[in-house]
Amino acid sequence: MRQSLTITGLGSPTFGEAIKSAHEVFDIFQRQFAEDQVESWHSPTYSGHHSLNLSNRYLTPKRDAQDMVHLPFTDTVDPQGILEDMAKSNYIHGEDNKVSYFKCQIDQEGNRR
C-alpha cells in the first residue's frame, strides 16, 4: 500500500526544463554503475504532457527496517486505525514512511507562506 502523487506542468516550458534536468541527473547517476545494474527511467505522461510520479509506502516490512522506530499514524492519515493495526504485525511505520502535508497560505500583504 502506498500513497502517490502525479505532478505535471501541462506543457509549461519551465516544467519541461525541470524534466530535462531530471533526465540529465539520472544519466549521470546511471553512468556510475555497471551496465544493467540500474533500472531505466523515463518520465511518464499525463494527458500527453510530461509528468513525475512520486510515491511512498505507508508501511515497511520489519525485516527490512530492524532499527526503525515506529511512528504512530495521525488521525488525518488513518482515521479508523486500520494502518496502525497492520503495523502491529510484521510491518512498521517509521520516518522513511512519513509524509508531511503543507498548505500554502497568503497573508494580508499577499505574501505566500
Overall domain count for the chain: 2
Residues 53 and 64 placed together within one structural domain of the fold: no
- Is the full-model pTM beyond 0.75? no
Q: What is the pLDDT of residue 89?
A: 82
Q: In the chain, which stretches have pLDDT less than 50? A: none
Q: What is the pLDDT of residue 81?
A: 92
Q: Mark which of 57, 81, 100 sits at the end of a domain.
A: 57
Residues 18 and 66 placed together within one structural domain of the fold: no
Q: What is the pLDDT of residue 38?
A: 87
What one-character DSSP code corresponds to residue 37? S
Q: What is the pLDDT of residue 27?
A: 92
